[in-house]
Structure 1
Amino acid sequence: MGFWGMFYAGSLLSPGLATVITNTQPLIASLLGWYFLSERPSKNSMIGIGLGFIGIFIISSGSITLNNPNMVQGILFVLIAAIGIAVSNILLKRIANKVDIYNAMGLQLCIGAIPLGALNLYQGNILSLQLTLDYILILSVLTLFGTALPFVLWFWLLRRAPLFKLNVFSFLTPVFGLLIGYIYFFELLSPIQWLGIFITGIAIFMVGRSNEAIEISS
């Protein structure tokens, strides 16, 4: 659900609006974690999570486009992605100390590929696929370093800290995107974007410094 909603919505929404809605995921996961994981974020943590979302909204505000005939459909798919990722994080946290890390991640990716592959066959896009060298290399990098490795590291971290504390770092994804563009591609950032980066950094600091007990396991 997460991957399908994210990639499909990318063709329907402006990047700014998609980024803002996608980053409702830490908020959704925090609410679900309160009920299903008995995680009780402090007041400072909740303020920090809210500030992080505000920072992302500020960062993305310049690229939000509302005059889009596909906006409602795109928002729906992004929400599906955010909810799917939030639910999966809750489930992963529940089994983090009970199963082998590679079994959990490997089986998750393999089983998740089945409905995605079926959708691809149903839509008839498989015949248009061109296996060029560039495509295979890009897909390999995305598979190994963009999916498999982060999933394993994420599962490893879930054994050691509350979900809401880890999830707040997902706000850094658009921040890193801006900073990489600034450093390596000499893209100029507006004062509003710098403000959003600053607020996001404060939010992560607030959540990280909150006094909830960290869960340590062997």
Structure 2
Amino acid sequence: MQMNERASKLPFAPLLLIAPFFLWGTAMVAMKQVIPHTTPLFMAGVRLVPAGVLILIATAFMGRPQPKSWAAWLWIALFALVDGTLFQGFLAEGLVRTGAGLGSVMIDSQPLAVALMSLWLFQEHIGLWGWLGLALGVTGISLIGLPDELILSLFSSSTPYSPLSTPYSLLESGEWLMLLAALSMAVGTVLIRYVCRYADPVSATGWHMIIGGLPLWGISFFSESQQWQNLVVSDWMALLYATVFGSAIAYGLFFYFASSGSLTSLSSLTFLTPVFALLFGNLLLNEVLSPVQWVGVCLTLVSIYLINQRDTLARTNQKVAVAEQNNTHSERSLPEASGKKLNPVSLSIRKSEPEIMP
């Protein structure tokens, strides 16, 4: 991905670019043990409000400017509503009603929406390689998240797989909530471009997490119960990790990079989130990856390469096409005699023969 000049000068810039998606993936692993012991909206608020406070404390030490104008606060409020309240609310409620695999596929398909909006709003070039990479990415996360029986049934003539007999039933799960969460995240990724015209992107990220998280706690207070009574020490440690690393650091870095550079390339790295979640689930929770999931991991990595190198690949193809065109043109321009090409061997022999004087 092409980073802006300011971001590219940061130490370990490539690692920092991947860090948000690594932290989101590992935070998902940490949250697996917490979800059965708490309520969704309370957990969503915990991931936002304390993280926003931490970001604002960091901006004070860094000397970053705070929002001042009415335009800045209006854009931050809209940013908070879409990427804070709506995204985290839809995501938390959707995870309760949706299988984890299908939910991951839906939420991590948002790079497609980001690419379309970036093409429309900012005229970002996607090209053939970019669209191919996006298609491979969606295919990869589908192989990772969807049940193997469903994938294999597409290539088998046996009894077709029926989602209505499993937890993935459209009648009982919250797929539409996950789609709304993915769309909210995509819109939030695009909104940061407008927010940073009036406010510092890191400060705006902190404020939007606080403003967006407070309504979630308010709704939780009136509609949920037993939010924290069943949490044990390990649950609080997992919440602490998800708040500090999976929210404060991850969102701060993500929206810092999203404030400039290619949104399509940055959002494509979201495909890494389920990959990290699977790998660390395998290491820490002894979850075993199936062969279908390993194929999905490989396709996901290939898709990220294609999207982030799409301009380089396009220039390479263009150079090859120009070279082939030049070779074809030079072959057609060779001198011809009597409608036939002259033999270069005979030309050299004739040139070496002595001239006969009359």
Which category of TM-score, normalised to the shorter sequence, fits these structures? 0.7 to 0.9
TM-score (structure 1 length as normaliser) = 0.86
Kindly indicate whether the alpha-carbon contact (under 8 Å) linking 2:192 and 2:201 is maintained by their aligned counterparts in 1. Answer: no
Separation (CA, whole Å) in 1 of partners of 2:261 and 2:227:
44
Larger CA Rg, structure 1 vs 2: 2
After TM superposition, the structure 1 stretch with the greater mean CA deviation from structure 2, 185-194 or 72-81, is: 185-194
> What is aligned with 1:216?
none
After TM superposition, the structure 1 stretch with the greater mean CA deviation from structure 2, 183-192 or 197-206, is: 183-192
1:141 aligns with 2:226: no
1:158 alignment partner, one of 242, 249, 258: 258
1:129 aligns with 2:228: yes
Structure 2 CA distance for partners of 1:17 and 1:186, relative to 1, 3 Å: closer
> What is aligned with 2:90?
5
1:115 aligns with 2:212: no
Kindly indicate whether the alpha-carbon contact (under 8 Å) linking 2:133 and 2:302 is maintained by their aligned counterparts in 1. Answer: yes
Structure 2 CA distance for partners of 1:129 and 1:54, relative to 1, 3 Å: same
TM-score (structure 2 length as normaliser) = 0.54
1:178 alignment partner, one of 246, 271, 278: 278
Separation (CA, whole Å) in 2 of partners of 1:171 and 1:66:
24
Q: State the identity as a percent.
A: 27
Kindly indicate whether the alpha-carbon contact (under 8 Å) linking 2:115 and 2:263 is maintained by their aligned counterparts in 1. Answer: yes
Separation (CA, whole Å) in 2 of partners of 1:152 and 1:47:
30
Q: Which residue type is aligned with residue 22 of structure 1?
A: I
> What is aligned with 1:204?
304
Kindly indicate whether the alpha-carbon contact (under 8 Å) linking 2:195 and 2:201 is maintained by their aligned counterparts in 1. Answer: no
Separation (CA, whole Å) in 2 of partners of 1:193 and 1:137:
29
1:36 aligns with 2:121: yes
Report Cα offsets for 1:28-53 as digits up to 9, x if no partner.
11111212222231221111011100
After TM superposition, the structure 1 stretch with the greater mean CA deviation from structure 2, 176-185 or 75-84, is: 176-185
Kindly indicate whether the alpha-carbon contact (under 8 Å) linking 1:93 and 1:163 is maintained by their aligned counterparts in 2. Answer: no
Task: Give 1:171 shift.
Answer: 0.6
Report Cα offsets for 1:143-195 as digits up to 9, x if no partner.
11110111110122123421110001111111112222334455432221111
> What is aligned with 2:108?
23
> What is aligned with 1:194?
294
> What is aligned with 1:215?
none
Task: Structure 1: give runs of 5+ residues left out of the alignment.
Answer: 213-218
Structure 2 CA distance for partners of 1:187 and 1:76, relative to 1, 3 Å: closer
Task: Structure 2: give runs of 5+ residues left out of the alignment.
Answer: 1-85, 151-161, 313-358
> What is aligned with 2:163?
66
Q: Which residue type is aligned with residue 151 of structure 1?
A: Y
User: Aligned pairs, how many?
Assistant: 211
Kindly indicate whether the alpha-carbon contact (under 8 Å) linking 2:143 and 2:292 is maintained by their aligned counterparts in 1. Answer: yes
Kindly indicate whether the alpha-carbon contact (under 8 Å) linking 1:48 and 1:207 is maintained by their aligned counterparts in 2. Answer: yes
Structure 2 CA distance for partners of 1:192 and 1:112, relative to 1, 3 Å: same
